[in-house]
Amino acid sequence: MKKIRIREKYCMGCRLCEIYCAVQHSKSKDLVKAYRGEYPKPVPRILVEEKDYLSFAIQCRHCEDAPCIGACITGAMSRDPKSGAVLCDENKCVGCWMCIMMCPFGVIGRGKEKKVISKCDLCVGEKEPACVKNCPNEALVLEEE
Amino acid sequence: MAKYLIVGNSAAAVGAVGSIRQVDKDGKIVVVSNETHSLYSRPLITYLLAGQVDKNKMSYGDPMFYRKNDVEEILGKEVVAVHPAEKKVILNNGAALPYQKLLLATGGRPIVPQVEGKDLPGVFTFTTLDDAKKVDEFIKKNEVKSAVVVGGGLIGLKTAEALIARGIKVTIVELADRILSATFDRKASEIVETALRERGCELITKNTVWKVTGRGVVKKVVLQGGVEVDCQLVIFAIGVMPNTELAKSAGIEVRKGIPVDDRMQTNIPDIYAAGDVAEAYDMLMSTKRQIAIWPNAYAQGSIAGSNMAGDAKNYDGSFAMNAVEICGVPTISIGLTDPQEAGYEVLEQYGKESMVYKKIVLKDDVIVGAIFINKIDRAGVFRALIKSKTNVGIFKADLLRDDFGFVWLPETFRKHMVVGEGTEV
């Protein structure tokens, strides 16, 4: 499957990936509309970690043996057979936070009004994920594994 | 004949089915359940009672999961005997089902204290979909306004929360001096207790039910010492005991639960056990014991399934943990959260206003436990550090930072833990 490779040496900590991720997952998918008019405010599903001059973006690794899937009490978390991505059905998620506890990367967060979880969906359906597409320095690249 | 026979129909069964089908696409899988309902998510029953989940949405994940995986469900039947020598089980209707590999995922059942009035209409336990339906009907029929929940553990609290959501005045009676005493420390308990009280819930600790009284229907519970609480509904949620009778009668080794090896096999070949009934390896306690939580049940079922299908896999062990939100307070507790012995180091952060509580318990610079209340993001990183027994000595001072993450780990650690596949450092 295609996965996002994180290349911390190239990350500048500009956080554009966070912005574009939030916009991609907003209702309008428009930066101005999303940030000015949408409630709940769009939240990124990618996180830039930063310390001094070191930074990198991290999002769901779509693990081969994903502990979040087995931890999900409703079966909302599952692997998309087509893309191989680990996806959460927000209509099934009840916000028990088991997956947050299980994720070794800490990349599942509380999403919409803190009622359901929020995680990277690899922008399934798009040509490439918004974070990859908008990273100005190829610190995030999409690669076949 | 079933190549794979699974007794029980919840997390462990689902995990087993998934991993069996990874290896064996068409070996016959049969699941026997004593419930009449097809596979559903048990933890959702409190959400159903609260009216937060529709009764048509109780299925576990994809409602077609069993059909897609070619699983035959036998519902409403009890397995009454296992004959390991002949490799068959007997159902309560007399039918014999031969198997090649058997998985006992029989779970547990709620404990009902032997008190006077325990059989009165209006007294329930709350662990199955039928329980949820019965309680729901009872509430509607009797216009229940007040309830007593006996037990301040997870099931008790989630049930109490659901009753509160329906506008019912709830009193929780807990034997210990605080709620969630098994997984929380005092401060964490207090934060959740405060949230419950704010929603009008009453808490009575260090006490339990002496008797339930009422003529033809529950009218009140009388606690030890004579305190009386008027109520129309009583839910017993004091604990769950493993369903080991079947295993015991089949000559399988049984302690409190069914001990299994690292392949989830019992002491009898080709018979496996997983989930709440199994005693699997606890890597923090260095012993085999039950840890009745969903993720463990699924993981154990999954390992059992792989091994049953001939794909040898080892269970690497787990430890106590839980994630739950109660009355708007998200919580995660992992491992040893409140050790009483000497030799542990505790890092703590507590905001009186924000009610954010973070606690990290270390032993010899290795994290062995953690609590997160109201701010639970990235708690999983700590679970991973506990599991990998990583020595955190050099970045210990950063653990409580709001922005703690992999960037605070030395590069070699990052490479090892985080970064792993798909990441370059």
Domain that holds residue A5: 1-59+121-145
pLDDT in tens, B22-44: 999 999 999 999 999 999 999 99
Residue among A101, A122, A143 with most chain B CBs within 10 A, to mutate: A101
- CA-CA-CA-CA dihedral for B225, B230, B234, B236, to nearest 10: -20
B156 and B139, same domain (yes or no) = yes
Residue B292 lies in a domain: yes
How many separate domains does chain A show? Answer: 2
CA A109 to chain centre: 9
| Residue B368 three-state SS | strand
Confidence of residue B64 (pLDDT cuts 50, 70, 90): very high
B302 touches chain A (CB under 8 A): yes
Provide the mean pLDDT of chain A.
94
B144 and B313 Cβ atoms separated by less than 8 Å:
no
Q: Residue B271: pLDDT above 50?
A: yes
Q: What is the pLDDT of residues B146-200, one digit of tens each?
A: 999 999 999 999 999 999 999 999 999 999 999 999 999 999 999 999 999 999 9
Same domain, B254 and B278: yes
Q: Provide, as residue numbers in chain B, all residues whose Cβ is less than 8 Å from the Cβ of A135.
A: none
Same-domain pairing of A96 and A126: no
Report yes or no: B294 at the A interface, CB cutoff 8 Å: yes
Q: Do A106 and B380 touch (CB under 8 A)?
A: yes
Residues of chain B contacting residue A58, judged by C-beta atoms under 8 Å apart: 405-406, 418
User: Is the pLDDT assigned to residue A124 strictly greater than 80?
Assistant: yes
Contact in structure between B213 and B219 (CB atoms under 8 Å): yes
Based on the domain organization, do A101 and A127 belong to the same domain? no
Partner A contacted by B351 (CB < 8 A): no
Indicate the residue of A6, A89, A94 with minimum beta-carbon distance to B424.
A6
Q: Please indicate, yes or no, if residue B319 is contained in any of the structural domains.
A: no
Antiparallel, parallel or unpaired: β B209-213 and B79-83: unpaired
Least trusted range by pLDDT, from A30-39, B89-98, B222-231? A30-39
**Are both A1 and A54 inside the same structural domain?**
yes
Q: Tell whether B334 is within 8 A of chain A (Cβ).
A: yes
pLDDT grade, residue B416 (50/70/90)?
A: low
Structural domain including B76 reads 2-41+60-108+242-308
Which CATH number do you get for residue A51? Answer: 3.30.70.20
Q: Which element (helix H / strand E) includes B173?
A: strand B169-174
Q: How many domains does chain B have?
A: 3
A74 and A47 co-located in one domain: no
State whether B209 and B151 are in the same domain: yes
The pTM of the full predicted model, rounded to 2 decimals, is 0.96
Instruction: With cut-offs at 50, 70 and 90, classify the pLDDT of residue B1.
Output: confident
B-facing residues of A in 31-70 (CB < 8 A) are 47, 49-51, 54-56, 58, 61, 64, 67, 70
* Angle, CA of B29, B296 and B191, to the nearest 5°: 140
**Do B232 and B256 belong to one domain?**
no
- Chain A hits for B387, CB-CB cut-off 8 Å, are 104
Q: Is A115 exposed, middle or buried (0-12, 13-18, 19+ CB in 10 A)?
A: middle
Residues A1 and A23 in one domain: yes
| CATH code: domain of residue B169 | 3.50.50.60
In a shared domain, residues A104 and A130: no
Length of chain A: 145
Note the ipTM here.
Answer: 0.96
Same domain for A16 and A5, yes or no, is yes
Taking contacts as CB-CB distances below 8 angstroms, the residues of chain B near A53 are: none
Q: Do residues A5 and A36 both lie within one domain?
A: yes
Mean pLDDT of the residues in chain B: 95
pLDDT over 50 at B85, yes or no: yes
